[in-house]
Amino acid sequence: MTGKLCAALVLIALVGCGGGGGSSPIDPPPGDGGGNSGGPVTPTGPSTADYLRAAQILDLTTFGPTVGDIETVAKEGVGWWLDEQFARPVTLHEPIVRRYGAQYGYELQNPVIFPGLYRRFAFFENALTAPDQLRQLTAYAFTQIFVVSATGMLNNNPIGLASYYDTLLTHSFGNFRDLLRAVTLHPAMGFYLSHVNNAKSDPVANTFPDENYAREVMQLFTIGLYELNQDGTPVLDTEGKPIATYDNDDIQAFAKVFTGLTYDVNAGSPVFGRNQGAMNLPMVMIDSFHEGGEKPLLNGYVVPDGQSGMQDIESALDNLFQHPNVGPFIGRQLIQRLVTSNPSPEYVARVAAVFADNGSGVRGDLEAVLRAILTDSEASDASRVREPFRRHLALNRSLGTVPVAGSDYGITGFFVQNLTGQMVLTAPSVFNFYSPFYRPPGGQGLQSPEMQITTEDSVVGLINLFARALYGDAPMHTHPELSAVALDLTPLAAYMDDRDTFMVWVERLFFGGQMREQTRDVLNDTLDEVIDLPTEDQVKVALYVALASPDQAVAEGGEL
């Protein structure tokens, strides 16, 4: 794509490029602090170790730290930051979509702007500017577990996808059981996994309940294929083989449970079988289309005859929620999304224990689970290939891009999807962009889900996306109706007076606080070679090299 960016780009000063607004993308932190777990603050300010801890935790809990974030957390401490984030109210997506809808309409034929993009605008606006960063990021992690993808009608329905995202946001710090119900009943999921308008068996027509949701809610959303120990390792039978958690009879029983749901409507009464309805209201049960009778589910539990359809669903979700697999199965995946690709069994077990009991006898408390994941002693030893899509987001958030209302959709559009291989809620299937179990060739047996979408093509695409962001002389596909977005390099340029200070900030912003010595040497030597360039161009050169480095591509902790 950016092959046209000639060699000279790296060195030539591009007048008028790279400037832009200077306002901070996040709210200033509350002045009263709220905690002092960061330890005593000396009159000279936070220590180097404080900055390192701040850079580390912000790397794990935001879409990309800013200088302001790092200064604040270095001063106030990690504990303060987590408390502040868990206390933040949710910033929703649907209102942003409605703002665009009011401005540009929802017309699909010859629209001013394709309405399917509104929910991408909403995602980017919140990822880059919302103060509840950890919640936004957790919901994003859940989009890769409870996968719904913009296919077919959903791509044209920004309200439905934004509402689904908001459902994940709303329950991200709540209880897993509530999240599971909300996901199950959301019409976007009902459409995606086809359990909306799923009718009971019809012996005359020779039709049977749809098995799609029944299968995936078990395989992907709760328990997985095999019985697990609490540390995430498989339980083995006497022959050393894993033990299946369910069989096809179980699938067919669960399929009966998920019959009778249809779209709710904003006016009038819902009608089973209608292919449209409210995409932002939970599906409703029409009992006459729900399959009655007993349904034997997992671990000996039988849904009794005579319940309402919704009671059947509650019973089935309880049956899944209480399965001992959920803690290690979901916990391990959250660890992989947020922290590290190969958590030790002990790490998984510690998180699963918190899932089982938050300390007050509550199962499924996600805030407690997230705290356990983020504050575990292994969290600072992370080793994880950074998601291409998140690297793109991080560059835009860390360098003070200002996408407010009516912003450039170039950083949200097909161009980015093409070069990163990812886009929020746009996975190729319910199996996400990658498998949690993917082991790359040459990886000495290590798992690395993100390496599954890392190819000769994608690594070049991503580097070229960085080149475009730093050197592109035109914004990416800016629509005439929208305003351009550009990186603001002035804060970094201000540090260039002192090379060490500049390097430290590059390290804090893009390397989780820890850069390999080899990488640092290369950056320093490269800067020596371009010392005659204007400061902002030196910054660009340094950033381009830094962002192209495998060291930046892979978050690494303790092995330094």
Partner 1 sequence: MIKRRQLLQRGLKSAVSLSVLGSLPLGLMSSLRAQATDDYRATVCVLLAGGADSFNLLVPRSNQAYSQYQQRRSDLALAQSDLLPLDGEHNGAAFGVHPALSNIQRLFNNGSGTFVSNIGPLVEPTTRAALEAESVTLPLGLFSHSDQILSWQTATPANRAGTGFGGRLIDALAAANTGVPLAGNISLSGNNAFQAGAAVGSYSLNATAGVRTIAGYDNRIFQGALDRLLADSNAPTLQRVYADKIQSAIDVGGLFSNALEQAVSFSTPFNEDPFSLAMKRIAELISVRDLLGVARQTFFVTYGGWDHHEDTLGQQAAMLPALDAGLGQFMAALNEIGMGSQVTTYTISDFGRTLTSNGKGSDHGWGGNVMVLGESVNGGRLYGDFPELVEDNPLDLGRGRFLPTTASDALFADIARWMGVTDTDMATVLPNWPGLADSPQGQGVAGLLKNV
Please answer whether residues 470 and 493 qualify as being in contact, where contact means their C-beta atoms are separated by less than 8 angstroms: no
CB 176 within 8 A of CB 251: no
Shortest separation between residue 422's beta carbon and partner 1, angstroms: 12
Residue from 31, 240, 361, 442 binding partner 1 (CB under 8 A): 442
What's the rounded Cα separation, in Å, for the pair 381 and 511?
13
Q: Are 415 and 373 in contact (CB under 8 A)?
A: no
Which residue in 19, 455, 474, 501 binds partner 1 (CB under 8 A)?
Answer: 455
69 or 211, CB closer to partner 1?
A: 211
- Give the span between the Cα atoms of 110 and 106, in whole angstroms: 10
Judged by beta carbon, residue 135 or residue 392, the one nearer partner 1 is 392
Neighbouring residues of 69: CB distance < 8 A, sequence distance ≥ 6: 26, 54, 58, 62
Cβ distance to partner 1 smaller for residue 47 or 383 = 383
User: H or E segment at 383?
Assistant: strand 383-385
Q: Read off the amino acid at residue 47.
A: S
Site for partner 1 contains 6 (CB under 8 A): yes
Which positions from 16 through 75 interact with partner 1, judged by CB under 8 A? Answer: none
Cβ proximity to partner 1: between 97 and 543 the closer is 543
**Cβ-based nearer residue to partner 1, 150 or 354:** 150
Task: Name the residue nearer to partner 1 (CB basis): 244 or 404.
Answer: 244
Rounded-to-integer distance, Cα 349 and Cα 43, Å: 41
Q: Which of residues 279-338 bind partner 1 (CB under 8 A)?
A: none
Member of 441, 497, 498, 531 binding partner 1 (CB under 8 A): 441
Nearer to partner 1, 411 or 453 (CB): 453
Q: Are 475 and 484 in contact (CB under 8 A)?
A: yes
Q: In this structure, what are the phi and psi dihedrals at residue 198, rounded to the nearest 5 degrees? A: -85, 115
Nearby residues of 447 by Cβ (< 8 Å), 6 or more positions away: 336, 341, 342, 436, 437, 438, 439
Number of residues that bind partner 1 (CB under 8 A): 93
Helix (H, G, I), strand (E, B) or coil at 236: strand
- Where does this chain touch partner 1 (CB under 8 A) — which range of 26-34, 118-126, 157-165, 430-438? 430-438
Asked if 3 interacts with partner 1 (CB under 8 A), we say yes
Stretch that binds partner 1, among 14-22, 162-170, 357-365, 381-389 (CB under 8 A): 381-389
Alpha-carbon distance of 45 to 103, in angstroms, equals 46
Q: For the CB of residue 421, give the shortest distance to partner 1 in the complex, in Å.
A: 8
For partner 1, the binding residues in 193-232 under the rule CB under 8 A are: 193-194, 197-199, 202, 205-212, 215, 219, 225
Contact present, 474 and 515 (Cβ < 8 Å): no
Among 428, 473, 481, 534, binds partner 1 (CB under 8 A): 428
Considering only 261, 468, 495, 539, the residue that binds partner 1 (CB under 8 A) is 468
Q: Which stretch binds partner 1 (CB under 8 A): 87-95, 248-256, 305-313, 365-373?
A: 248-256
* Residue 246 CB, nearest approach to partner 1 (Å): 10
Binding residues among 472-501 for partner 1 as defined by CB under 8 A:
477
By CB under 8 A, what part of segment 134-193 binds partner 1?
151, 193
In the window 525-544, what residues touch partner 1 (CB under 8 A)? 525-526, 529-530, 541, 544
Q: Any bridge partners for residue 554, and if so which? A: 385
Run of H or E residues at 556: strand 554-556
Q: 242 has which bridge partners?
A: 236
Q: Is 98 exposed, middle or buried (0-12, 13-18, 19+ CB in 10 A)?
A: middle
Q: Nearest-CA neighbor of 315 among 325, 301, 334, 336?
A: 301
Nearest residue (CB) to partner 1, 5 versus 90:
5
Q: Is 458 in the site for partner 1 (CB under 8 A)?
A: yes
Task: Determine the interface stretch with partner 1 among 29-37, 88-96, 434-442, 483-491 (rule: CB under 8 A).
Answer: 434-442
Report d(CA 73, CA 218) in Å as an integer: 39
* Three-state DSSP class for residue 240: coil
Closest CB to partner 1 among residues 81, 114: 114
Angstrom distance (rounded) from CA 289 to CA 417? 40
Residue pair 358/174 in contact (Cβ under 8 Å)? The answer is no
Among 414, 478, 494, 535, binds partner 1 (CB under 8 A): 414
Kindly tell me which of 80 and 511 has the beta carbon lying closer to partner 1: 511
Contact residue for partner 1 among 238, 248, 266, 269 (CB under 8 A) = 248
Residue among 311 and 454 whose Cβ is closer to partner 1: 454
Contact 121, 96 (CB under 8 A): yes
Separation CA 235–CA 364 (nearest Å): 22
Residue 239: CB atoms within 10 A of its CB come to 5
Which 340-379 positions form the footprint of partner 1 (CB under 8 A)? 341
Residue 365 Cβ vs partner 1, minimum distance, rounded to whole Å? 29
State in angstroms the smallest separation of the CB of 287 from partner 1: 17
Site for partner 1 contains 425 (CB under 8 A): no
Q: Say if CB 102 and CB 95 are below 8 A apart.
A: no
State how far the alpha carbon of 442 is from the alpha carbons of 341, 456, 458, in Å.
Answer: 16, 15, 18
Residue 11 sits in the site that holds partner 1 (CB under 8 A): yes
Q: Would you say 72 or 157 has its CB closer to partner 1?
A: 157
Residue 456 as a binder of partner 1 (CB under 8 A): the answer is yes
By CB under 8 A, name the one of 281, 459, 484, 494 that touches partner 1.
459
121 near partner 1, judged by CB under 8 A:
no
